[in-house]
Amino acid sequence: MAQPKIVILGTGGTIAGQAQASTQGVGYRAGQISVAGLLAAVPDLSQLAAGRTGAVLDAAQLAQIDSKDMDWKVWRSLLQAVKAALDDAGTQAVVITHGTDTLEETAWLLQALLQPVKPVVLTCAMRPATSLQADGPQNLRDAVAVAADEVAGVWVVAAGEVHSARRVLKVHPYRLNALHSYEGGPCAYVEESRVRWIAGAAARAPWSEQRLQQLLAREALPWVEILQSGALQSARAVQALVAAGVQGLVVAGTGNATLHEDLLGALLQARSQGVAVWITTRCLEGQAVGQGALPAEAEHDEISAQLLKAGDETALDCVLLPPSKARVAMMLALTSCS
């Protein structure tokens, strides 16, 4: 019988970054060190995996990018690789090394589409690998510990904390504990290679194989942009995006997903022209109460009706997500309607 394996996929990011000097914490180049090099920097990583569940590590390099430049090509390759690994009966878990800038979107994409019954663990770093006090090696070690714990779901591991894909956000530009989960905090802590769970994540059905393959066959995802409502808001940004052909708008409203009256009028017009519009809140904690929809007169256009009748909980939960993840959710929902 073959040994179980933990698949480790490298995509670049600061965790694989290099600077000219070990004292340099900014101005480095992300995505320079291979995933094999990252594993080599943690000498007991294989022993940690083997000692917990008898697993071996199986590493592959999918990309070498700064995650601020994340695109559909890398996302598609990552989805295909993760799904292939999860479908392999010999795979115990998947670990992904990733940059922090768009980590929250990637984590949510994987959770929304795959709802894995095995652990999928993303990890990262705030300092490049060449730093005097690089945080990547410990984060990678903690990620393997979480993977070996065999708790299903998509998790983000950094600074000794385990976050759910749904709640995690990057909240600081440079501190080591730059990730945070509002409304509840981390789901677990990694303490001396042991994972202490506090709470889990709700599971839903994954996309069907047919829907997932249709998505992976696309050359691009629908064009969706994020707007924010605030003081002195005008309609010009909405009008310009609609004129340019945008397919969907996620609006970060004030308070309980409220909108400036000038912005509201433009969004009503956009919906009448076939643009999907979802509203969430720009508040960092809590979630909007209600469906996050525009007034009744705007709820019956064709695309909105398709979205709301699709039975896709990703679409209906838009007000429960921060704008960055609601945008990913809308992209996925629109693929089901096109």
List, in sequence order, every residue forming a beta bridge with 148; answer none if it has no partner. none
Tell me the pLDDT tens digit for each residue of 228-260.
999 999 999 999 999 999 999 999 988 878 888
Sign of CA dihedral 26, 27, 30, 36: negative
Q: Which region among 17-31, 35-49, 162-176, 188-202 has the lowest average model confidence (pLDDT)?
A: 188-202
Q: What's the pLDDT at 309?
A: 32
Q: Within the chain, how many helices (H) and strands (E) appear? A: 11, 13
Closest by CA position to 287, among listed 311, 253, 314 = 253
Give me the percent of the chain exceeding a pLDDT of 70: 87
Say which range, 131-135, 179-183, 285-289, has the weakest mean pLDDT: 285-289
> Is the predicted pLDDT of residue 302 greater than 80, yes or no?
no
Q: 84-112 pLDDT, tens per residue?
A: 999 999 999 999 999 999 999 999 999 99
- pLDDT given at position 238: 97
What is the b/e burial string over 223-236, where b = at least 16 CB atoms within 10 angstroms of the residue's CB? Answer: ebbbbebeeebebe
Helix (H, G, I), strand (E, B) or coil at 67: helix
Which residues of the chain form CATH 3.40.50.1170?
5-197
Give yes or no for residue 213 having a pLDDT over 60.
yes
pLDDT band with cut points at 50, 70 and 90 for residue 153? very high
Spell out the alpha helix ranges (H) of the chain.
35-40, 45-53, 72-87, 103-114, 136-148, 209-216, 236-244, 261-272, 302-309, 313-316, 323-337
Distance CA 70, CA 75 (A): 7
14 is catalytic: yes
Q: Tokens 């730059």 sit at which residue?
A: 178
* Helix (H/G/I), strand (E/B), else coil: 158: strand
Q: CATH 3.40.50.40 region(s) of the chain?
A: 222-337
The per-residue pLDDT for range 275-291, each reduced to its tens digit, is 998 888 898 877 676 54
CATH level 3 topology of 5-197: Rossmann fold (3.40.50)
For residue 305, what pLDDT is reported?
41
The mean predicted confidence, pLDDT, of the chain is 88
CA distances to 136, 142, 312, 337 from 94, rounded to whole Å, are: 17, 13, 26, 31
Catalytic: which of 11, 14, 97, 281? Answer: 14
Tell me the per-residue pLDDT of 41-90, one tens digit each, with 9 for 90 and over: 999 999 999 988 899 999 999 999 999 999 999 999 999 999 999 999 99
pLDDT given at position 217: 94
Rounded to two decimals, what is the model's pTM? 0.84
Q: 27 versus 187: which is more confidently predicted?
A: 187
Band (pLDDT 50/70/90 cuts) for residue 331 is: very high
Please tell me the predicted confidence (pLDDT) of residue 304: 41
As a CATH number, domain 222-337 is 3.40.50.40
What pLDDT, on the 0 to 100 scale, is given for residue 289?
64
**Signed CA dihedral, 305, 307, 313, 316: sign only:** negative
